[in-house]
């Protein structure tokens, strides 16, 4: 999934009058006001079960909630579940629901709503189908739901807490009325409810007066959610310069999809600041099914020759926008982070790389680097790859298309040998499509050793027991090289200084936000 967002028609709409909001003398939050968000892409749907699209995720997480969610360290915590327990054999999850939680239509959330919602999500979620084998939800009583699996799954709770497509809980009658294109009403239990959605212009959310917050400390996507704002408008503004101008003049309170080139301009403007959030990982993906990189030694040669700092600087221009890191997980993902295999990261040994090229089956054929100018970071990484390959005696050419054509061409192993792409952060490393053999992801990994490690992690009795396996998986990743992970990238968001409490975890967190006028 690319970090860049698909652009749609620009929005033109007057800004409504905000109610007056003042922080008290201690600077504590006070309710009221309207948050104006400039956003680059209109969502195709507000049904969170159907898509991994960021535009859907970022709006709908305010409307819907899940049984489980992720804290700031990407650890699983209860949300609509008061608590949950897993059977000794790891095949049965029992969720004890919070009582008194209301949907936006005034109905109390109960087990029948959860079962209907989870069944709908399972029917459409590839992640659920892949990682929750034989999953079945059932009602035990009005406030107890059970999930049974064919096989134990250590990562089952992480899949249920994932951010996209996330299993938002909806009223059963809304699920029953849903068609192939998703639900027709967008009703959840979240701190904000949908007031109006005007396609290609805006989504208008309003505070849900009867929202039932948790009492636990706010952390990441969980804990206490305070709906301080009266209203939130997601304004769909496709033109980058319009978003930048709007945040600088105060027309918008937050602006997404800000080009890195504008970071200095934002920072030097009174009343607005840059906000950097974790944006995922950036990689080179090898075609391991056909062509020169089917030879592991040639993949290793390219990795040895690559200067990671130079590649990331070429793509992102400034070290503020990326961080060097060898792990498949982010440092904040404490359950999955591992530095094992780091000795193979950023080695930059040209002579040793040339030796591996000589030992490989490479015989002078042209390596095809598939890329697009639609996303400059991808194109710049492709240029770097071409130069690195030439430096070790490998012929390489760029094959440049628009982004839709790149997506189409990379499905055929005869069309390319390498491409650069970024992946959004996932709840577990199992969810990256480039790891597992048999996954229909361009690159076509085929490593029984990686498959076995993924399977062993999934049936491990605890995270602690899985840690050595996660270490070994990272080592094997750097040996086999299904991809080269270059580093962790940042998203740039511009936020007005009077917007307080703004946070981000795989997308913006707008509850607990307040405006100090």
* 387 in the same domain as 313: yes
* 479 in the same domain as 386: yes
Of 127, 125, 1, residue with least CA distance to 55: 1
Say whether pLDDT at 23 is over 70.
no
* 317 in the same domain as 204: no
Number of H helices and E strands in the chain, helices first, is 14, 21
* pLDDT tens sequence across 131-178: 888 999 999 999 999 999 998 889 999 999 999 899 999 999 999 999
DSSP 8-class letter at 294: G
Contact between 497 and 273 under an 8 Å Cβ cutoff? The reply is yes
Strand blocks (E) in 353-401: 367-372, 396-401
Last residue of a domain, one of 156, 183, 210: 183
| Cα four-point dihedral sign 78, 81, 82, 83 | negative
**What are the Cα distances from residue 79, in Å, to 68, 97, 161, 226, 375?**
5, 9, 9, 14, 37
Report the CATH number at residue 157.
Answer: 3.90.76.10
* 179 in the same domain as 318: no
**What are the Cα distances from residue 114, in Å, to 62, 81, 178?**
18, 10, 15
DSSP 8-class letter at 414: T
* 426 in the same domain as 307: yes
Residue 229's Cβ-side half-sphere holds a number of Cα atoms within 13 Å equal to 27
Residue 209: CB partners within 8 Å, gap ≥ 6?
none
Last residue of a domain, one of 159, 183, 207: 183
Helical packing angle, 350-359 and 296-305, nearest 10°:
170
pLDDT of residue 319: 87
* 128 in the same domain as 261: no
* 501 in the same domain as 471: no
Q: Which two tokens stand for residue 494?
A: 């511009």
* Structural domain boundaries enclosing 36: 1-60+190-271+497-517
Contact between 202 and 234 under an 8 Å Cβ cutoff? The reply is yes
**What are the Cα distances from residue 96, in Å, to 68, 80, 233, 477?**
11, 9, 34, 39
Q: Report which secondary-structure segment, H or E, holds 78.
A: strand 76-78
pLDDT band, very low/low/confident/very high, at 27 (cuts 50, 70, 90): low
SS3 at position 187: coil
d(CA 223, CA 74) in angstroms, rounded, equals 13
Last residue of a domain, one of 183, 211, 234: 183
* 72 in the same domain as 210: no
How many domains would you assign to the chain? 3
What is the distance in angstroms between the CA of the first residue and the CA of the last residue of the chain?
A: 37
Average pLDDT over residues 237-265: 94
Contact between 421 and 406 under an 8 Å Cβ cutoff? The reply is no
Say whether pLDDT at 271 is over 80.
yes
Report the CATH number at residue 352.
Answer: 3.10.105.10
* 408 in the same domain as 348: yes
* 404 in the same domain as 368: yes
* pLDDT tens sequence across 283-331: 999 999 999 999 999 999 999 999 999 999 999 988 889 999 999 999 9
**What are the Cα distances from residue 510, in Å, to 159, 198, 253, 285, 513?**
23, 20, 12, 34, 5
d(CA 183, CA 13) in angstroms, rounded, equals 27
* pLDDT tens sequence across 196-231: 999 999 999 999 999 999 999 999 999 999 999 999
Report the CATH number at residue 241.
Answer: 3.40.190.10
Task: Kindly report the average pLDDT of the chain as a whole number.
Answer: 92
pLDDT band, very low/low/confident/very high, at 26 (cuts 50, 70, 90): low
Contact between 68 and 77 under an 8 Å Cβ cutoff? The reply is yes
* 266 in the same domain as 122: no
The whole-model pTM stands at 0.86
d(CA 200, CA 6) in angstroms, rounded, equals 12
Residue 429's Cβ-side half-sphere holds a number of Cα atoms within 13 Å equal to 29
d(CA 377, CA 419) in angstroms, rounded, equals 12
* 68 in the same domain as 52: no
């Amino acid at each position: 999934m690319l970090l860049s967002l698909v652009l749609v028609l620009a929005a033109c709409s007057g800004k409504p009058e905000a109610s007056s909001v003042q922080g008290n003398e201690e600077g504590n939050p006070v309710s009221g006001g309207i948050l104006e968000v400039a956003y680059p892409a209109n969502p195709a749907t507000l049904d969170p079960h159907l898509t991994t699209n960021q535009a859907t995720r970022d709006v709908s997480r305010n409307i819907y909630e899940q049984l489980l969610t992720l804290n700031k360290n990407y650890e699983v915590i209860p949300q609509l579940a008061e608590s949950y327990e897993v059977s000794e054999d790891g095949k049965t999850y029992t969720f004890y629901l919070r009582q008194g939680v209301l949907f936006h239509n005034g109905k109390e959330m109960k087990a029948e709503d959860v079962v209907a919602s989870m069944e709908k999500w399972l029917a459409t979620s590839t992640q659920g189908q892949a990682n929750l084998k034989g999953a079945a939800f059932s009602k035990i009583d009005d406030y107890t739901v059970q999930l049974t699996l064919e096989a134990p799954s250590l990562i089952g709770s992480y899949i249920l807490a994932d951010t996209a497509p996330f299993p938002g809980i909806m009223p059963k009658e809304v699920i029953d009325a849903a068609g192939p294109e998703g639900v027709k009403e967008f009703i959840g239990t979240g701190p904000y409810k949908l007031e109006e959605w005007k396609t290609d212009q805006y989504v208008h959310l309003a505070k849900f007066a009867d929202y039932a917050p948790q009492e636990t400390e706010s952390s990441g996507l969980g804990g206490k959610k305070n709906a301080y704002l009266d209203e939130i408008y997601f304004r769909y503004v496709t033109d980058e310069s319009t978003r930048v101008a709007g945040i600088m003049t105060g027309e918008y309170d937050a602006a997404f999809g800000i080009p890195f080139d504008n970071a200095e301009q934002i920072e030097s403007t009174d009343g607005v600041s840059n906000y950097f959030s974790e944006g995922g990982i950036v990689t080179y993906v090898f075609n391991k099914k056909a062509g020169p990189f089917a030879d592991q030694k040639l993949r290793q040669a390219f990795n040895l020759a690559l200067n990671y700092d130079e590649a990331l600087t070429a793509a992102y221009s400034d070290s503020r926008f990326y961080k060097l890191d060898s792990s498949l997980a982010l440092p904040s993902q404490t359950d999955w982070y591992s530095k094992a295999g780091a000795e193979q990261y950023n080695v930059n040994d040209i002579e040793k790389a040339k030796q591996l090229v000589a030992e490989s089956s490479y015989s002078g054929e042209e390596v095809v680097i598939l890329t697009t100018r639609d996303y400059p970071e991808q194109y710049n990484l492709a240029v770097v790859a071409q130069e690195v390959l030439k430096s070790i005696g490998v012929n390489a050419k760029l094959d440049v298309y628009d982004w839709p054509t790149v997506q189409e061409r990379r499905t055929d192993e005869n069309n390319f040998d390498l491409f650069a792409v970024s992946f959004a952060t996932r709840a577990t490393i199992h969810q990256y499509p480039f790891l597992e053999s048999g996954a229909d992801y361009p690159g076509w990994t085929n490593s029984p050793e990686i498959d076995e490690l993924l399977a062993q992690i999934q049936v491990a009795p605890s995270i602690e027991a899985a840690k050595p396996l996660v270490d070994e998986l990272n080592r094997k990743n750097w040996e086999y090289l299904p991809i080269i992970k270059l580093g962790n990238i940042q998203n740039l968001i511009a936020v007005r200084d009077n917007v307080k409490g703004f946070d981000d975890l795989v997308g913006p967190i707008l509850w607990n936000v307040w405006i100090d006028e």
